[in-house]
Structure 1
Amino acid sequence: MLESALISEFSRFYMSNISDHAIDLFSKIVRLKKYKTGDVLINKGTSKFYVIVEGIVASFSKNSQKDREYIRTIHLENYAFTDLFYQINDLKLAHIDLDTKTPEDYYKCLTSCTLLEGDFKDFIDLSASNHEISLLYNKINQTILLQVLKRLDRLSLLDATDRYKILKERIPQIENLIPQYQIASYLNITPVQLSRIRKKMYSE
C-alpha cells in the first residue's frame, strides 16, 4: 500500500491528471529499495532508472588521472535519473557527438536513501505502448532539462556565495546531512573557500 501511494505521488508530481490505470502500469515496472550512504547507484552501462523517495543523491564526475571526484548536481525527492550514456548506446543515438570515454560519471547516495528502481528499457517500452506514460516520460525529461539549464546558469552567472545561499534555501539543514567537502565540491570551490563564505555570512 505504501509503495503504491509513493508511485502515485511521484506520477502526479509530474502529471497531475494521470489516470489510476497508467499509474498501475508504471507500478508494475518499479520496486521500492533502500540504500546506504555512499552506495553507488549508476555506472556506465547500467539499464536501471531511479526515483528518489527520500534522501539525497548526487551525480558525480571523476577525474581518473587525479583520482578526484566532483559533484555535478544534488537531487532530492521525486527526481528521476538514469545513465544517459546507456540511452545513447541502447537507443541507437550513437550519432550524437559526445565523448563517452571520459570522465567517469556515476550517481551516489549522499545520505541513506529510499528509491523506486526499475529497468529503463521497460519504461521506454511502456512509453511506446501507453500515451499517458509517454506524456509522463516527456514531462520528466523536460523537468530534468530545465534543472540542468538552471544549474549551468548558476555556475556561469552567480558567485559561490550566492550559489551557497540558494543551496541553503533548498536544503536548510545541508551542513547536518553531508560533509563540508561535498558541499564545496557541489559549489565548485574548495573547503577552505566554503569555510570563509560561511564565516562571513554568519558574522554579518
Structure 2
Amino acid sequence: MNKNPFLEYISKFITLTPKEETILLSKIVQRNYLKDQYIVQQGDVCKTANFIISGCTKTYYIDLEGQEHIVMFSIEDWWSSDLGSFITQTPADFNVQCLENTKLIQFNYENLEELYKEIPKLERLFRKIVERAYVASQKRIIRNFSLPAKERYKIFNATYPKINQRVPQYLIASYLGITKEFLSKIKNQLVSK
C-alpha cells in the first residue's frame, strides 16, 4: 500500500491513530506551485507552514542594497516557510520561492492551532521540527563565523548532496556568502587534489 508521504514523515516522530490521520488530513491543503512562484514574500504575513512533497525552494532576504542572501534550501520531506512570521503572524523577513515546480502540504495558522487541541501529540511533532531547525541554524551560524569558505562548501556538499545537484551554483555561492567566481575556484581546487 502506498502511504501518504506526509503521513510517512510524521510517523518518524509520532504515531497517529487512523481517526487522528483522518482529522489531520481534513485540515491540510495540497497545493502546486510553479518554478519561480513565491510561497511567501518579504513583508507579507506567512499564512502557512509548508511541507515539501516534491520540488525545491529557496528562502532568502533582500538587503537594503538589493542584494539577495540565501538562508536555506528545502527539498522533499523538508519544511519551507518563514517560520518566525508564521509563528508570530507578523510580516515576513524572508522570501520563499520555488526553484522547481513544487508540490506542498500546507497548514494555515488557524487550522494548526485547532489541530494542536484535537491531536495534542502534534505539538510534540512541531516542537521537534522547530528544535531541528533551530539547531541547524545555530550550526550554520557557527560555521559561517569560524570556517573558511572551502570548508563550508565541503560541509554543504557532504551534508546536502541532493541539493547541490539541483540548485544553480550562483545560489550555492550566495548561501555560502561568497561570489560564484570564488566558489568556482574552490571547486577547481578540490578537483585538482
Alignment TM-score, normalising by the size of structure 2: 0.85
**Alignment RMSD:** 2.3
Percent of residue pairs identical? 22
Q: Does structure 2 conserve the Cα–Cα contact (< 8 Å) formed by 1:33 and 1:114?
A: yes
Equivalent positions of 1:54-73 (< 5 A) are 54-63=54-63, 65-73=64-72
Q: Secondary structure of 1:7's match?
A: helix
| Pairing of 1:1-204 with structure 2 (within 5 A) | 5-13=4-12, 15-43=13-41, 44-63=44-63, 65-83=64-82, 84-89=84-89, 104-172=93-161, 174=163, 176-204=165-193
Alpha-carbon contact 2:49-2:86 (below 8 Å) kept: no
8 Å contact 1:52–1:113 — kept in the other structure?
A: yes
After superposition, give the CA deviation of every residue in 1:156-183 in whole Å (9 maximum; x if it has no partner).
2222112211222233355542222101
Letter in 2 for 1:34: N
The offset of 1:86, in angstroms, is: 4.1
Secondary structure, counterpart of 1:82 in structure 2: coil
Q: In structure 2, how many angstroms separate the alpha carbons of the residues matched to 1:23 and 1:154?
A: 39
Deviations 1:57-106 (A, max 9, x none): 2210111x32221101122222224332243246xxxxxxxxx69xx511
- 2:73 aligned counterpart, secondary structure: strand
Q: Which runs of 5+ in 1 are unaligned?
A: 91-99
Q: How many aligned positions are there?
A: 190
Inter-partner Cα distance in structure 2 for 1:132 and 1:8 = 14
Q: Which amino acid aligns with 2:53?
A: V
Larger mean CA deviation between 81-90 and 194-203 belongs to 81-90
Amino acid of the residue matched to residue 22 of structure 2? D
